[in-house]
Amino acid sequence: MTGRRHRGGGPYPDRLITYEEEPVRSMLGDKRAIAVFIGPALIVYTLVMIVPLIWSAGYTFFDGSVIGGFNFTGLDNYKQLLGDDAFWASTWFTVKYGIAVTVGQVGFGLLLALLYTFYLKRASALVRTLVFFPVVLPTVAVAAMFTKLFAVAPQPGLINSIASVLGMSGDRDWFGDSGSAFIVLVVMDVWRSMGFYAVLLYAGLVDIPDDIIEGARLDGARGWRLVRHIILPMLTPILLSSVIFSINGTLKVFDSIMALTGGGPGDTTSPLTLYMYKTAFSFGDYGYGSTIAMQLTLLSLLVTLVIFRFSRKDQTR
Amino acid sequence: MSTPTAVRHAHETAPVTPTLRHRPKNRLGRQLRRMPLRAAVALLLLIEIYPLVWLILSSLKQEDEFSLKPVWALPEGFDWANYSEAWTTGHMSTYLRNSLLATVPSLAAIIVFGVAAGFALQVMVWRGRGAVLLVFLAGVMVPLQMVLLPLFTIYFKAQLINSLWSLIITYTAFGLPLTVFLMAGYFRAIPPEVLEASFLDGAGIFRTFAVVVLPMVRNAILTIALVQFFFIWNDLLLSLTFISDDNLRTVQTGLLNFVGQYGQRQWGPTFASICLTVVPTLLLYLALNQKVMKGLTAGSVKG
C-alpha cells in the first residue's frame, strides 16, 4: 500500500486526524459506535486502575487492613515515614540499584548496538537473536538459575567452580553479605535485559543517514571521536527514552529481588516495592504500605522529570 | 501493508555503512585485526547462552552427579526422571494449566478491548478523545504497587481471592494502557481514503472496522499480543498477592514455591522445573522472533 500516510510521532492529542467530508464525518462521529468501541476498555480501566489509584491515596490517611479494619489517623503515616530508618534504607537501595542497573543496561546496550552496526553489520541478525534470548525468560526461572550459578552449598555452583580453577577462593557465599548480593542482582538484571536495549538502540543507529557518518569520516573523525561527536548526539532521543524506560522499570523492581535474595541477607537488599509488600501483607498495615507505594510513584515521576529537564539543558548548550 | 513495521523493514535490509572501514591490503592482516573482536563476540555469546545450556544439561543429571562431578561436566545419561518428578510431585502440570487459564482469556480481552478503544480514540471523531487518550497514557507510568492494596480489598470482599478471575481482570486492565497507546499509533498509518471508500461502498462503521481496518493492522496486533503474553506469563507480583491456594498457583509462583522447598536438596528436579518454564517461552520467541524484532524497532523509531 502506498497511499498517503500521516507522518509524525505517536498519537498526540493535538495532532489527531480530522476529516473534511461530511458523510465520513457523520459516520465517524456515530455516538453509539464510539460507545461500543471505547466502552468496555474504559469501564475496565476505570474500575481496576483509576478508582483503586484514588482509593490507595485515601489509604495513606488510615491504619489497619481489610481483614482487621481501618482507623483514620490523619497524617500519622507521613510522620512515621520521616523517622523510619527502614524506609530510608529501602529508598537508598532503590536509587542505588536503579542507577547501577540503568547504567549497565543502557551502557552495554549501546556497546552491543555499536557492535551490531559497525562490526557485525548484516551478520548481526543471529547475534541479536541470541543476545535477546534472556529478555523473554521468566524472572523467577532466571533468578533460580542465578542462585544455582552462584551457589556455594551444598555444592559449589558454576561461578565458584570457575573461581577455584582460576586459583581464587571457590567458596564465596555470594548471597551472604549485602555487597556481593547486590553485585549478583545487578549482574543478573543487566544480563537479562541488555539485549532489549541493544535492539532499541540498534534501530536508532541504523536510522542515522550514511552520508552523515561518511562526511564525518572524511573530516577525520574516527573511533571514539566519531561516536562522541556524531553518533551520540544523533542518538540522544532514543538514548533518552531508553534511560527513562530503564530507570522507571528498575525503580519498580520486585520480581528479580523477590526471587533471587528475598530482600536478604536481613533487609539489606530490600527496595521500596519489597518493603511495601512486606508492610502490607506480612504486617497487615495497608495505610503505611500505600504511603510507601505513593513515595515510589512520586520518586519515579521525579526522576523522569529530572531526566527530561537535564536533557533539555544539554541540548540548548 | 503500510504499517510502520513494513517501513522499518526497508531500513533494516538497506546496506548500513558500506564503506565504513578501509580494507587492509592483505587478507591475513584483516583476519588478524579482526581477532580481538571475534573473541569478544564469542565471549559475549558464551555469557548469554552458556548458562541456558548449563541449565538444560543439569536438568538431565542424576542427584549424585552434582556432588561427585564438577558442575560443568556433561550428564552421564539422559535422566528424564527429573522431569517426571517436577511434572507430578512438583505440580508443574497444574501450574502450567493455571497459567494458560489465566493468560489466554486476559490476552483475548486485552486485544479485543484495546484495539477497539485505539480505533475509537484515533480514528473516530468526538469531543474529549484527547483527554481520554492521555488518561490511558498515564496508566503506563503507574506502578502496580499503587493499586495493589485496594484491588486486594475489592477481590477479598468479592471473594475473588484465590480465584483465577482476580488475575484475569487485573491483567486485562494493566495490559490496556500500552495496547491502546500502541494501537492508536498504528491506526494513524491508515489512510482516510480507505475508510471513505469503504463507507461509499455502503459498509457501516462496524463492518468497515472488521473487514477493512482489522486486516490492515494484523501484524501490529500480533506484536502487541506477544509483548503482552510475556508480561502476563512472567508476572510474579499479582499472582503472589492474589493466589495462595497451591492448586491455583501459576508457573511463576509455583516455581518460586518449588525452588523454596526443594531447591537446596534436589538440584535435578529443580533444574527440570526451571527448564519447564523456560523452554516454552524460548520456543515461542524463536517461532515469532522476526515479528518481535520488527515490532520493537518500529515502536522505538516512532517514539
The interface predicted TM-score (ipTM) is 0.80
pLDDT-derived band at B24 (thresholds 50, 70, 90) equals: very low
Nearest chain B residue to A291, by CA = B146
Residues of A in contact with B293 (CB under 8 A): 128-129, 132, 199
**Are the beta carbons of A11 and B121 separated by less than 8 Å?**
yes
**Are the beta carbons of B20 and A118 separated by less than 8 Å?**
yes
pLDDT given for residue A237 in this prediction: 82
3-state secondary structure of B264: coil
pLDDT given for residue A315 in this prediction: 55
How far is residue B99's CA from residue B85's CA, in Å, rounded to a whole number? Answer: 20
pLDDT given for residue B295 in this prediction: 64
Full set of structural domains in chain A with CATH? 13-59 (no CATH), 84-316 (1.10.3720.10)
Using the Cβ of A282 and the Cβ atoms of chain B, whether some distance falls under 8 Å is answered with no
Residue B132, in any domain of the structure: yes
Residue B175, in any domain of the structure: yes
Count interface pairs A-B at CB distance under 8 A.
341
**Are the beta carbons of A41 and B188 separated by less than 8 Å?**
no
Q: Is the pLDDT of residue A63 over 70?
A: yes
Burial A59-82 (b: 16+ CB within 10 A, else e): bbbbbbbbeeebeebeebbeebbe
Give yes or no for a contact between B187 and B122, defined as CB atoms under 8 angstroms apart. yes
Residue B22, in any domain of the structure: no
Amino acid type, A159: I
Residue B197, in any domain of the structure: yes
Residue B275, in any domain of the structure: yes
Closest CA to A55 of B157, B194, B109: B157
Distance from CA of B281 to the nearest CA of A (A): 6
pLDDT given for residue B140 in this prediction: 78
Condensed to tens digits (0 to 9), the pLDDT of residues A111-142 reads: 999 988 888 877 778 888 888 888 888 888 88
Residue B162's domain comprises 90-302
Residue B115, in any domain of the structure: yes
Cα angle value A170/A175/A178 (rounded, 5°):
120
Q: What does the mean pLDDT of chain B come to?
A: 81
Q: Is the pLDDT of residue A278 over 60?
A: yes
- By Cβ distance, the residue of A24, A45, A155 closest to B67 is A155
CATH of the domain at B95: 1.10.3720.10
Partners of residue A259 on adjacent β-strands:
none
Nine cell digits for residue A94: 532503590
* Residues in Cβ contact with B58 at an 8 Å cutoff, skipping those fewer than 6 apart: A148, B66, B71, B75, B267, B268, B271
How far is residue A253's CA from residue B197's CA, in Å, rounded to a whole number? Answer: 49
Condensed to tens digits (0 to 9), the pLDDT of residues A235-264 reads: 888 888 889 889 988 999 998 999 898 887
Residue whose grid cell is 509462583? B253
* Residues in Cβ contact with A242 at an 8 Å cutoff, skipping those fewer than 6 apart: A105, A106, A109, A197, A200, A201
Condensed to tens digits (0 to 9), the pLDDT of residues B175-185 reads: 999 899 888 88
Give yes or no for a contact between B213 and B115, defined as CB atoms under 8 angstroms apart. no
What whole-number percentage of chain B has pLDDT above 70?
Answer: 86
Residue B215, in any domain of the structure: yes
**Are the beta carbons of A144 and B270 separated by less than 8 Å?**
yes
Domain count, chain B: 1
Residue A62 has phi, psi (to 5 degrees) of -125, 165
CA distances in angstroms from A93 to A86, A125, A251, B136, listed in the order given = 10, 37, 10, 31
Q: Which of A185-199, B125-139, B149-163 has the lowest mean pLDDT?
A: B125-139
Residues of A in contact with B40 (CB under 8 A): 115
3-state secondary structure of A208: coil
- By Cβ distance, the residue of A29, A44, A217 closest to B126 is A29
Condensed to tens digits (0 to 9), the pLDDT of residues A184-195 reads: 999 999 999 998
Residue B181, in any domain of the structure: yes
How far is residue B113's CA from residue B224's CA, in Å, rounded to a whole number? Answer: 13
pLDDT given for residue A23 in this prediction: 65
Give yes or no for a contact between A32 and B205, defined as CB atoms under 8 angstroms apart. no
pLDDT given for residue B137 in this prediction: 82
Residue whose grid cell is 483503586? A52
Give the length of chain A: 317
Torsion on CA atoms A66, A69, A75, A80, rounded to nearest 10: -80
- For residue A86, the tally of other CB atoms under 10 A from its CB is 13
Nine cell digits for residue B113: 478491548
Residues of A in contact with B112 (CB under 8 A): 40
How far is residue A174's CA from residue A96's CA, in Å, rounded to a whole number? Answer: 19
Residues of A in contact with B198 (CB under 8 A): none
How far is residue A192's CA from residue A131's CA, in Å, rounded to a whole number? Answer: 9
Instruction: Provide mean pLDDT across the span B247-255.
Output: 90
Condensed to tens digits (0 to 9), the pLDDT of residues A291-309 reads: 999 999 999 889 888 888 8
Amino acid type, B143: P
**Are the beta carbons of A37 and B117 separated by less than 8 Å?**
yes
